[in-house]
Amino acid sequence: MAETDPLEQSSFDGPDLAILQFLAQRPRASFAEAGEQVGLHERTVARRLERMLRTGRVRFIAALLGEYLGEGLVVELAVRCAPGRLEEVARAIAARPDTRSVEVATGDLVVLAEMVVADEAELLDLIDRTIGGMPGVLDIHSALVLRLLLTAVDWTPYGTEPTRMRRLAMDGLLPPPPIPVDDIDRELADLLAEDARMPMTSLAVRLNLGESTVRRRLNRLMASHVFHLRLFAEPSVLGHPVEARFRLRVEHAHLDTALRRLAHEPSIRHLVVTTGRDNVLGYSSHPTAADMHTFHARAFSGLDGVREVQTALLMRSYKRAGRPVRIRAADHHTPPLPRVGPGEPR
């Protein structure tokens, strides 16, 4: 009998979701702790989690965020493609290590990508030569991320209390100053990106430090907003298969108020301020298309100073958080992209 593709066994039941909910709050908890919380034996928890991870729809994420550390530039690209070249261009951009996310949505024939570059010179080279020179690319629109308000960490479909960063955004407050991060912290973050649940003893050996020192450094990082370590599940796994992207053109006199109002919307899982006339970019997740419509009508109609609203339905994601999204064989014949560096999903 042929081996079943894990993607074909990706239906998650109640105990699976209970495990995800617990590990979303405590990603490094032991299987015994998770089992006690959800009423399962630790071996059952381990087996279920391993199965969910194999589907590619659930994974652990660990990353330092350059937006909060003030390092590098994050740019949002809309790459217009010739008819019939969209898939080719999307996969080529997704294969790059400096790409965080790649997707296509309804509307114009464009590939949407979030990328990280060191400086303006690297950005110019990326747009003009690298992506601009790809076969099938007709035009590129770029927007620099000026302020990060919400990430996928702040999206809590389980109905839990708002995260600290969402509360700050709801109150119109800026994040606290970033904590100092040294080379050892960065090496620790890289090890956790490799294996977010790597045992403390293994981390200590790899870093050539005592366990207590490593534990103290890890606790310090996890208590800050500059480092994200979490269990990420595709929104569809959590009952929110409809994903939307929106861009708003908001007058600057009303921008702060609009951002506060948007931060109160629990469906929004990513929110940034960018350069350009359309200066607010966000992503949201919903159970149904009707819920998405209700959200749009409620969230945008009462915002003062909004001159234009553009919404789109995400049709396919090729990359999230620096990793390729596995596509069912029935959807595409090309083999999966290789794994690349970590980042924060949106």
- Pair (96, 131) in one structural domain: yes
Residue 201 scores a pLDDT above 70: yes
- Pair (141, 290) in one structural domain: yes
Looking at the 3D structure of the chain, how many domains does it have? 3
Is residue 77 in some structural domain?
yes
Mean pLDDT of 63-85: 96
- Pair (261, 207) in one structural domain: no
- Pair (155, 212) in one structural domain: no
Helix or strand (DSSP H, E) at 314: strand 306-320
Is residue 334 in some structural domain?
no
- Pair (247, 319) in one structural domain: yes
Per DSSP bridges, beta strands 280-286 and 110-117 are unpaired
pLDDT at site 343: 58
Is residue 7 in some structural domain?
no
Is residue 248 in some structural domain?
yes
Is residue 339 in some structural domain?
no
Portion of the chain with pLDDT greater than 70, in percent: 91
- Pair (106, 156) in one structural domain: yes
pLDDT at site 10: 55
Q: Which domain holds residue 210?
A: 180-223
- The 10s digit of each residue's pLDDT in 4-36 is 344 444 589 999 999 999 999 999 999 999 999
- Pair (213, 245) in one structural domain: no
- The 10s digit of each residue's pLDDT in 287-316 is 999 999 999 999 999 899 999 999 999 999
The SS3 of residue 33 is helix
* DSSP class per residue in 224-264: SSSEEEEEEE-TTTTT--EEEEEEEEE-HHHHHHHHHHHHT
Domain harbouring 25, CATH code: 1.10.10.10
- Pair (141, 285) in one structural domain: yes
Residue-wise over 67-105: b if at least 16 C-beta within 10 A, else e? bbeeeebbbbbbbbbeeebbbbbbbbbbeeebbbbbbbb
Rounded to whole angstroms, the Cα distance separating 25 from 159 reads: 12
Residue 136 scores a pLDDT above 80: yes
Mean pLDDT of 266-270: 97
Look up the pTM and report it.
0.89
Mean pLDDT of 119-148: 97
Is residue 37 in some structural domain?
yes
* CA-wise closest residue to 263 among 137, 167, 144, 135: 167
- Pair (162, 185) in one structural domain: no
Is residue 246 in some structural domain?
yes
Residue 78 scores a pLDDT above 80: yes
Mean pLDDT of the chain: 92
Is residue 60 in some structural domain?
no
pLDDT at site 11: 80
- The 10s digit of each residue's pLDDT in 219-246 is 999 999 999 999 999 999 999 999 999 9
- The 10s digit of each residue's pLDDT in 311-334 is 999 999 999 988 888 765 444 433
Q: Residue 209's CB: how many other CB atoms inside 10 A?
A: 17
- Pair (91, 155) in one structural domain: yes
Domain harbouring 99, CATH code: 3.30.70.3460
Read off the DSSP letter of residue 130.
I
